Amino acid sequence: MGRRTLALVAALALVFTTISVGAAGCTKRPSTSTEDATGSRPATTTSAEETTEQNEATATPPENSGGPVAPRRLTLAVYLPRGDKLGVVAREVPQTKAVATAAVNELLKGPSSAEVAYGFHTEVPAGTRLRSISIRDHVATVDLTGEFDDGGGSLSMFMRLAQLVFTVTQFDSVDAVTLKLDGVPVEIFSGEGIVIDKPMRRADFEDVLPAIFVEKPLPGATSKSPLKISGTANVFEAVFKAEVRDASGAVVGSKTVTATSGTGTRGTFADSVPFTVTRTQMGSLVVFAESPRDGSRIDVVTIPVKLVP
């Protein structure tokens, strides 16, 4: 092989090497890591892997789509008081791996006008901001600004802790929550002297839960028949009634529901209530227990639901 041939081969090799390195440098990478609840998922996804695939799928529109793909959204639960008991509402946010961060930020916004109309409020003081969330061994450490312990009596303080714990533990990689304020770990919360020297769990807040705690459907949800319901209950013999009512208040579906335990022990329930309507309308789910003394309705909870034929 002559010198000119060798020089040509070397030049071509250099060109291909340069193209290869340049292509690698153009590979799209996420600018930041947003995952704060590794292995967890909101109800709208089935696995952490699926969430990643959905994010990648929305980054580039499919061929011949004719335009950009609308960004995917997911539904998170935010826990707000309704009266003197804890309730739950739905919030839609852009698809993200930072689901715990998104949920807490939604909590700190307080109730929307529609949620206020449904009877919700918040005990979290205005101006409270999220500094950071870290998760290790199924325990989330939430660092909030100092406003979080401003004002209010013991019920208000206890309720705002419940709001935080339930909102963060909706994800299956989080079982408990520890609290920091302005970066300092908190073991005695507020002037009310609430001791939180160990990670807080949902079971610690039984006193602020309604006897029948419906977590699904969320207020304002839309459903065809049957209406799926789930949550926890602590009622006599673990039995309660569920009714679907139309816009006029007429009962269009009913069922007796049995939780996994009751009479002093909170159990879980998951069931479905068939109903019949002829037009789309705003109705409601009404759950209640019957008094063992006189059969009267007690522990009544009403949740607005849009009913679809």
Q: Using an 8 Å Cβ cutoff, are 78 and 167 in contact?
A: yes
Work out the average pLDDT over 20-37: 37
**Which of 208, 229, 250 is the last residue in one of the domains?**
208
Work out the average pLDDT over 120-135: 97
pLDDT tens, position by position, 245-263: 999 999 999 999 999 999 9
Work out the average pLDDT over 141-160: 96
Write down the mean pLDDT value for the chain: 83
Q: Does residue 99 carry a pLDDT above 60?
A: yes
Same domain, 244 and 287: yes
From the list 196, 214, 179, the residue with the least C-alpha distance to 305 is: 214
Task: Determine the pLDDT at residue 14.
Answer: 36
Q: Does residue 228 carry a pLDDT above 90?
A: yes
**Across the strands, what pairs with 283?**
305
In a domain, 8, yes or no: no
Same domain, 173 and 237: no
**Which of 192, 208, 224 is the last residue in one of the domains?**
208
Same domain, 190 and 257: no
Token pair 């807490």 in the structure block, residue: 104
Q: Does residue 280 carry a pLDDT above 90?
A: yes
Number of domains in the chain: 2
In a domain, 52, yes or no: no
Same domain, 154 and 223: no
Sign of torsion, CA 56 61 64 65? positive
In a domain, 91, yes or no: yes
Parallel, antiparallel, or unpaired: how do β-strands 267-273 and 227-233 relate? Answer: antiparallel
Task: Determine the pLDDT at residue 15.
Answer: 32
Q: Does residue 212 carry a pLDDT above 90?
A: yes
Portion of the chain with pLDDT greater than 70, in percent: 78
At 228, list the tokens.
């799926």
Structural domain that includes position 203: 73-208
Same domain, 179 and 225: no
pLDDT tens, position by position, 162-206: 999 999 999 999 999 999 999 999 999 999 899 999 999 999 999
Q: What does the DSSP 8-state code read for residue 211?
A: S
**Which of 183, 208, 233 is the last residue in one of the domains?**
208
Q: Does residue 142 carry a pLDDT above 50?
A: yes
Same domain, 177 and 199: yes
Task: Determine the pLDDT at residue 211.
Answer: 97
In a domain, 86, yes or no: yes
In 3-state terms, what secondary structure has residue 230? strand
pLDDT tens, position by position, 31-71: 223 357 644 444 433 222 223 222 322 233 344 456 666 67
In a domain, 55, yes or no: no
CATH of the domain at 279: 2.60.40.2550
pTM for the whole structure: 0.78
Q: Using an 8 Å Cβ cutoff, are 230 and 272 in contact?
A: no
Task: Determine the pLDDT at residue 35.
Answer: 56
In a domain, 11, yes or no: no
Task: Determine the pLDDT at residue 36.
Answer: 72
Same domain, 149 and 246: no
In a domain, 149, yes or no: yes
With left for phi above 0 and alpha for psi between -120 and 50, is residue 85 left, alpha or beta? beta
Parallel, antiparallel, or unpaired: how do β-strands 176-181 and 139-144 relate? Answer: parallel
Work out the average pLDDT over 98-120: 96
Portion of the chain with pLDDT greater than 90, in percent: 75
Same domain, 138 and 219: no
**What is the distance between the alpha carbons of residues 131 and 112, in angstroms, rounded to a whole number?**
23
Task: Determine the pLDDT at residue 169.
Answer: 98
Task: Determine the pLDDT at residue 32.
Answer: 28
Q: How many CB atoms lie within 10 A of CB 304?
A: 17
In a domain, 191, yes or no: yes
From the list 30, 24, 27, the residue with the least C-alpha distance to 55 is: 30
Same domain, 185 and 252: no
**C-alpha angle 187-190-194 in degrees, rounded to nearest 5:** 55
Same domain, 124 and 160: yes
Same domain, 250 and 180: no
Q: Does residue 95 carry a pLDDT above 70?
A: yes
Same domain, 127 and 220: no
